[in-house]
Structure 1
């Protein structure tokens, strides 16, 4: 009996536990470095250029993960790949905590972000596999935990560093990430037992459902899907907005609205906090609506209010403009749900997630640099805000692409 696969109900519960635990840890070590920059600088020199390099690592790591995670999961299996992602996150966390120089700090950070990126890409596939009937609520649950995970490090990293040093502060997150290992180790064991049972049944001539799904929709093929581009456009726009906001909004607010550095930091925190209610609402709406056009239109309108307000009357209501930009991010959790809602299998959910995140994060990686360079070139934030408004307007291109409600597989079969 001990070698038998888990019952279906037990497997689902274990899968749900694994999904929620890995989601809760994906953002913990990612946001733990920047609050400690001053403390780290005492041991490892961090120039403005060095901080810029570290700031570009998250979208670069996520883009690389988007390109490679679906293929790795196809070869190793979903459960093994997510287990590997957690191990890589722990290793990256420990490497950068023990880093003797900037190169090691960078390599450890990149290793950590690759592991987190694999989790980003493959969680929609796990949701599709373990909770195919509850994609909206399950996506909302794990997206909310990701938002909470991104808010904790800025609050706890500095007190930990003040007590035990910045290296201990960074390394401590590995303990929490390690908790997520437990369900995925069990899921890997259960998946192996299921494969053994399937082979035995096949040898006896029993008809079985496919255990492994074919990797039929590769990167170039996915580029032919209207639905894939319908998801890619809003995901890329929300990613651009997020990374530009975190990199440039405090400076922009101080220049345009005349707020203090502390007030700008509080407004940036407002932007980040708004991700939590959005994560709860957007996936459920995406699952219930026949088409996400209302969500897309709302996002475009909110972004236009936020960026337009900063352009036309920045000092009039800076909190309102920042809140509008933050609420415009509703398309990000919507896209997380669409990875599963608009595909027919868990493997293709991973493929679509990988495609979209590769494109979205690759563009987002250069966006803060480009927007900042435009400001330096013109001496004004107005051209940068006009460019952001033009990017937001591209949301209209996604509306007809997603209006049909078709699956990616339907697009590719036409």
Structure 2
């Protein structure tokens, strides 16, 4: 359990630590174009590399695949502090490739090692993942300032990946080559698998939009940049207990669609509140968005709850995350375009409410009781 949580702590550190120093890197000569590439690398890796996870899993197994993921994270974090923008971009791509692989494999690890505690472990690692994200954002600049070098602020997190690798190493086992494997095409033909995938896509889109644009919405409502950032941080912190509890509840429910409806309603109320009274209820809207974001661990739990084995879980996780992140990647861009074209946030909020409606519909399909039927090799 400790090893899994240490791995989860590393699954956003490379991204938020870089974001915390991005403006400072611009002052040091990293061009705006390079900064744009750096912000696009994570979601592209999540989609592209995540799609290759099953090829690795079938060759070396889920447990050993996770060691490979941690090795990529540590190597990438070390590489990107070498001199020059190419090393920074390449290192970020390598680290995010490891994160993408870890994203896919962790649900399968939970399925294999904690089959009777799926809800508890999914909630725990989701909460720790968010905690790691917050630590990376909050601690990177102070570390860099104390050391007098931005490289120290970024490079220190490689130690966290190494620590997780040491903790996980004893649990690596070579996969039994005779164990049945899911025939890849079967999931792609499953309406339930597609419902899980679209659920993951809609919640990812909302999360990326919130992280990208929520401070700007509050700034336009008259808040200072500092207070707008504090409101975003508050949303993340308030979400942590919901991230832990939601998958535990999901395991106990016969139909998880009701839970998706409840959480999506909180998200929708948050967007509506920001639309009609962004200043008057600022803290409440931030809290609602943070709590509603717990659809994320529910979707992760469904990877295990709707499948029969760790290999099946990894296959569904690969499909949902590769396609889901790809679909979600355009969300922040589209919101920005709508805002620039209209001069207000109204069209963007209408789009987000439409995605909330889609999320409820696919949530009811994805949350039905039973397992996905899969063909086998």
TM-score w.r.t. structure 1 length? Answer: 0.86
How far off is 1:316 after superposition? 2.0
Q: 2:190 aligns with which of 225, 249, 258?
A: 225
Given that 1:291 and 1:402 are in contact with CA atoms closer than 8 Å, whether structure 2 keeps it comes out as no
Give the Cα–Cα distance (whole angstroms) in 2 for the partners of residues 298 and 275 of structure 1: 14
Match of 2:167 in 1: 183
- 1:75-111 CA-partner distances (Å, limit 9, x unpaired): 121122111111100111011111412x321121111
Q: Is contact 2:260-2:363 (8 Å) kept?
A: yes
Aligned partner of 2:128 among 145, 158, 170: 145
Shift of 1:409: 2.1
Find the aligned partners of 2:208 and 2:36 in 1 and give their Cα distance: 12
Tell me what 2:103 maps to: 120
- Per-residue deviation, 1:221: 2.5
> How far is 1:233 from its partner?
2.4
- Counterpart of 2:69 in structure 1 is 85
1:284 maps to 2:248:
yes
Deviations 1:374-405 (CA, angstroms, capped at 9, x unpaired): 11122221111111111111123224413531
Runs (5+) with no aligned partner, structure 1: 1-15, 196-209
Secondary structure of residue in 2 paired with 1:121: helix
- Structure 2: which 5+ runs fail to align? none
CA distance in 2, matches of 1:354, 1:54: 23
| Secondary structure class of the residue paired with 2:156 | helix
Question: For the Cα contact (< 8 Å) 1:234–1:296, is it kept in 2?
Answer: no
Kindly provide the CA deviation profile for residues 241-266 of structure 1, in whole angstroms up to 9, marking residues without a partner as x: 111111111112222x2211111111
Query: What is the aligned counterpart of 1:29 among 14, 25, 29?
Result: 14
Map of 1:406 onto structure 2: 370
Question: Partner of 2:153 in structure 1?
Answer: 169
Tell whether the 8 Å contact from 2:264 to 2:295 is kept in structure 1 after alignment.
Answer: no
Identify the match of residue 157 of structure 1 among 140, 144, 147. 140
**In the comparison of the two structures, how many residue pairs are matched?**
375
Q: Hey, what's the Cα distance between the residues in 2 that align with 1:77 and 1:409?
A: 22
- Give the one of 84, 94, 98 matched to 1:111: 94
Q: Which residue of 1 aligns with 2:182?
A: 216
Moved more, 272-281 or 153-162: 272-281
What does residue 301 of structure 2 align with?
A: 337
Contact 1:32 1:154 in 2 (8 A): yes
Conserved 8 A contact 2:266-2:291: yes
Task: Give CA-to-partner distance per residue, 1:213-262, whole Å, 9 cap, x none.
Answer: 333231x431222321232222111110111111111112222x221111
Match of 1:75 in 2: 59
Does structure 2 conserve the Cα–Cα contact (< 8 Å) formed by 1:86 and 1:181?
Answer: yes
Counterpart residue number, 1:253: 218
Instruction: Tell me how far apart the structure 2 counterparts of residues 269 and 396 of structure 1 sit (CA, whole Å).
Output: 26
- Contact preservation (8 Å) 1:128, 1:340: yes
Q: Does structure 2 conserve the Cα–Cα contact (< 8 Å) formed by 1:85 and 1:119? A: yes
> In structure 1, what is the equivalent of residue 42 of structure 2?
58
Distance 1:213 1:379 in 2: 57
2:316 corresponds to which of 352, 355, 374? 352
Please report how far the alpha carbon of residue 70 of structure 1 lies from its aligned counterpart in structure 2 after TM superposition.
1.7
Structure 2 match to 1:305: 269
Whole-Å Cα distance in 2 between the matches of residues 252 and 212 of structure 1?
Answer: 54
* C-alpha distance in structure 1 between counterparts of 2:109 and 2:169, whole Å: 15
- Structure 1 residue matching 2:314: 3-state secondary structure: helix
Which residue of the other structure, out of 317, 335, 349, is the alignment partner of 1:385? 349
Look up the match of 1:12. none
> 1:124-155 CA deviation, whole Å, 9 max, x = no partner?
11111111111111112211211111111122
Look up the SS of the partner of 1:389 in the other structure. helix
Partner of 1:373: 337
1:378/1:42 CA distance change after superposition, 3 Å: closer
Q: Distance in 2 between matches of 1:326 and 1:177?
A: 27
Larger radius of gyration: 1
CA contact (8 A) 1:271 1:326 kept: yes
Kindly state the Cα deviation for residue 34 of structure 1 after the two structures are TM-superposed.
Answer: 1.3
Q: Is the 8 A contact 2:256 2:368 kept in 1?
A: no
- Residues 364 and 140 of structure 1: CA distance in aligned 2, closer, same or farther (over 3 Å): same
Give the distance between the partners of 1:85 and 1:364, measured in 2 at CA: 23
Structure 2 Cα separation of the partners of residues 148 and 74 of structure 1: 31
Q: What is the TM-score with the length of structure 2 in the denominator?
A: 0.94
Could you tell me how far 1:284 is from its partner in structure 2? 0.4
